[in-house]
A = this chain, B = another copy of it.
């Protein structure tokens, strides 16, 4: 205890002045304005909700104009748009269409729908999004993961092989619900729900889904006639093996499917590889799918290979999107399940679209309002459900192509949609001889972009728990089903939050040399602790029922341990110890966001037990809610107002000067 008196004597000169200041600060600390009550908070968050109307002083006319501009961002194009921009958008749109048409047909087959529904989905949603959405690069249409999700979930409700029309009607109903949920997310500012699928979980989920989508393509690639409805890897491989074995033994297997599919797959992957290496050749992977379709269709038509067992698309219904309002099933047995699937699809679709939209907006340096995007996505899916489309969203691969092709505004989506319309009106008959294996290889060639091993390694390196969510989602999707994978990922993510929030750790703080800052002594080994004074910080965000008792016991154990060790040392070695026993415990509450009644009870108990041991207890910098609750619970009166400080340094000084007389 040699350093104690000296230190205080040093500061004694200006101690009284300091003291006055400190008293004033204590008053500030103890008498803050009341925190806004719960009701008021809710009201203010609801007020924020009217995001269309800015509350600035504008005339009615200005209000309407700003409302319309906010709802239809395309309006703000007028005046800025010129021929040069249109030329860029036209080129980008055409490139996009050449990729969209084959992909849409492939994804429709993946969703177990007829090919034309994929094309329909590339017409109406992109047009709606182009006028309502604020992203300039995003390419709208059917995507692989949502198609897989829909087919794997809806086929549990209605079997597409048994009741094809019923299945399709449920898909439209799901699309309607997905749109409604997306609009609701946007209007009620529930965009944060999309964030519940963490980045890590998304990486795992996408990789798992990609593998599953790839496995589904084995049907087309190998020309298998019987395929399982299950989506887990074991069932699919088993079914592929059995069917293949049976078809080969019965002589019904035609290797030509595989030959065509795999040779074009090699071509597509090479194009992709070249396009990646040489950014100027970005158009090569973009038009390669359409080129493959045309080429292979031509080959099959010429060689009459369909007579030799090559599976072909056959009839694609010509004409524009038919009306599907009367096919929506808003009553009946499947409504509840359709709504559930709609919710899952809405979240997955939004997650993909937001990820895509945000990353490209960030490259171009503009801001994407999540809630408005959701509104636009919702409207386009509702409109889609009325016009024979299934759930559309922003596609990773096509958006990248759109961006590389130099699109300037969402007009490129309009160009793409018009091209698809032309295709639907004029060229569907040409698709008759397109081999299924080509569609499978087009989908397969797009999958590597969904598997991001580098990112998984990065996640492993940075956060092991995040990696657990990632790998959980991956294996959940792979070995169980899409929903299980999502559930596992979300559960692990939330379990992590709970565990971190209630971890009853405590940290010992010490003074960083030449500052007034007190930090964790393990993190800063150079930090010095004051003899006899234990400065403690709780390493969790709230002192609540789940950790309060453990924290209290740890602090008490620390105090008693230090005392016992000292006793033992002094009896064993019969010497004066240089460090005093613990005379004061200072609890730094800076990082404690909240406290509940169990936490306050634990603090009361801690205070009582420490005082009964002759140890002073001080609190530092309790936050707004915490000091408010402590005052309500009369704990401030119990422990004495003079033992609550604004900074740790003040508390240490006060504890030292208090202990001096003894």
CB-based contact A200/B550 at 8 Å: no
**A596 with B198: in contact, given A463-B629, A544-B497, A633-B458 (CB under 8 Å)?**
yes
Contact A542 B545 (CB under 8 A): no
Which A residues, 451 to 472, have Cβ-Cβ distances below 8 Å to chain B?
458-459, 461-466
Chain B residues with CB under 8 Å of A608's CB are 362
Q: How long is the Cα–Cα vector from A574 to B14 in the complex, in angstroms?
A: 49
Interface stretch among A251-259, A382-390, A523-531? A523-531
* B-contacting residues, A566-624, CB 8 Å: 568, 590-594, 596-598, 600-601, 605, 608-609, 612, 621, 623-624
> Which of B195, B524, B646 is A517 in contact with, Cβ under 8 Å?
B646
Pair B596/A466 contact, Cβ less than 8 Å? yes
Does A494 reach chain B (CB closer than 8 Å)?
yes
| Number of residues of chain A lying within 8 A (CB) of chain B | 88
- Of A1-9, A227-235, A480-488, A499-507, the one contacting chain B is A499-507
- Whether A546 touches B200, Cβ cut-off 8 Å, given contacts A524-B28, A632-B461, is no
Expressed in whole angstroms, the minimum distance between the Cβ of A55 and any Cβ of chain B is 12
9-residue interface stretch from A286-294, A307-315, A508-516? A508-516
Smallest CB separation, A22 vs chain B (Å):
9
Q: Is A512 in contact with B25, judged by CB distance below 8 angstroms?
A: yes
Interface residues of A in 27-60 (CB under 8 A from B): 28-29, 32-33, 38, 56
Q: Is the CB of A365 within 8 A of B612?
A: yes
Rounded to whole Å, the gap between the CB of A659 and the closest CB of chain B is 22
Shortest A202–chain B CB gap in Å is 9
Find A545's partner among B33, B365, B493, B539 (CB 8 Å cutoff): B493
With A195-B549, A522-B33, A545-B198 as known contacts, state yes or no: A609 contacts B501, CB within 8 Å.
no
Of all chain B residues, the one with the shortest Cβ separation from A608 is B362
Check if A462 sits within 8 Å of B542, measured CB to CB: no
Q: Which residues of B contact A201 (CB under 8 A)?
A: 545
Within 8 A of B (CB), among A422-467: 458-459, 461-466
Q: Per-position contact with B for A550-561: 1 when CB-CB < 8 Å, else 0?
A: 100100100010
Residues of chain B lying within 8 A (CB to CB) of residue A155? none
B462 touching A600 by the CB < 8 A rule?
Answer: yes
- How far, in whole Å, are A632 and B461 apart by their CA atoms in the complex? 7
Query: Contact between A524 and B629 (Cβ–Cβ < 8 Å)?
Result: no
User: B515 to A32, Cβ gap below 8 A?
Assistant: no
A597 in contact with B466 (CB, 8 Å): yes
Q: CB < 8 Å: which of B358, B547, B592, B623 contacts A520? A: B623
CB distance from A31 to the nearest CB of B (A): 10
- A192 on interface, CB distance cutoff 8 Å: yes
A69 within 8 A of B: no
A284 contacts the other chain (Cβ, under 8 Å)? no
Partner of A556, one of B32, B200, B367: B367
Given B370, B550, B646, which contacts A192 in the complex, CB threshold below 8 Å?
A: B550
Q: Which residues of B lie under 8 Å from residue A646 when comparing CB positions? A: 512, 515, 517, 519
Chain B contacts for A633, CB-based, 8 A: 458, 462
User: Which residues of the other chain, B, contact A197 by a CB distance below 8 angstroms?
Assistant: 545
Most buried by B among A459, A497, A525, A624: A497
Please report the C-alpha to C-alpha distance between residue A576 and residue B549 in the assembled complex, in whole angstroms.
57
Determine whether the beta carbon of A605 is less than 8 Å from that of B362: yes
A334 partner residues in chain B, CB cutoff 8 A: none
Are the CB atoms of A547 and B195 closer together than 8 Å?
yes
- Chain B residues near A365: list those with CB within 8 A: 609, 612
Tell me how far the C-beta of A248 lies from the nearest C-beta in chain B, rounded to whole angstroms.
46
A497 touches B192 (CB 8 A): no
Q: Is A243 an interface residue (CB 8 A)?
A: no
- The verdict on A593 contacting B593 (CB below 8 Å), with A370-B549, A463-B629, A549-B370 known, is no
| Closest chain B CB from A306 CB (angstroms) | 49
**Quick check: is A196 within 8 A (CB to CB) of the other chain?**
yes
Q: A540 in the interface, Cβ–Cβ < 8 Å?
A: yes
| A214 interfacial contact with B, CB 8 Å | no
The residues of B that contact A263 with a CB separation of less than 8 Å are none
Q: In the complex, what residues of B have CB within 8 A of residue A515's CB?
A: 25, 646-647
- Of chain B, the residue at the smallest CB distance from A527 is B28
Task: Give the complex CA separation of A542 and B28 in angstroms.
Answer: 28
B517→A593 contact, CB < 8 A: no
Q: Is the CB of B466 within 8 A of A541?
A: no
Interchain nearest-CB distance for A461 vs B (Å): 6
Q: How far is the CA of A549 from the CA of B194 in the complex (A)?
A: 10
**A498 touches B (CB below 8 Å):** yes
- A597 to B463, Cβ gap below 8 A? yes
Q: A33-B523, A632-B462 are in contact. Are A546 and B500 (CB under 8 A)?
A: no
- Nearest opposing residue in chain B for A650, CB measure: B515
Contact B520 A624, beta carbon cutoff 8 Å: yes
Contacting pair A500 B458 (CB below 8 A):
no
Residue A199, interface by CB 8 Å = yes
Binding site for B on A (CB under 8 A): 21, 25, 28-29, 32-33, 38, 56, 191-192, 195-201, 358, 362, 365, 367, 370, 458-459, 461-466, 493-494, 496-498, 500-502, 504, 512, 514-517, 519-520, 522-526, 539-542, 544-550, 553, 556, 560, 568, 590-594, 596-598, 600-601, 605, 608-609, 612, 621, 623-624, 629, 632-633, 646-647
A-B pairs with beta carbons under 8 Å apart, 23 shown: A21-B514, A32-B523, A33-B522, A195-B547, A195-B548, A195-B549, A195-B550, A198-B545, A199-B601, A200-B545, A370-B549, A370-B553, A462-B597, A462-B632, A463-B597, A465-B596, A466-B597, A493-B544, A493-B545, A497-B501, A501-B541, A522-B624, A540-B541
The 10 A-B pairs of least Cβ separation, nearest first, read: A541-B541, A198-B545, A591-B591, A199-B598, A523-B624, A501-B501, A32-B523, A462-B632, A466-B597, A198-B598
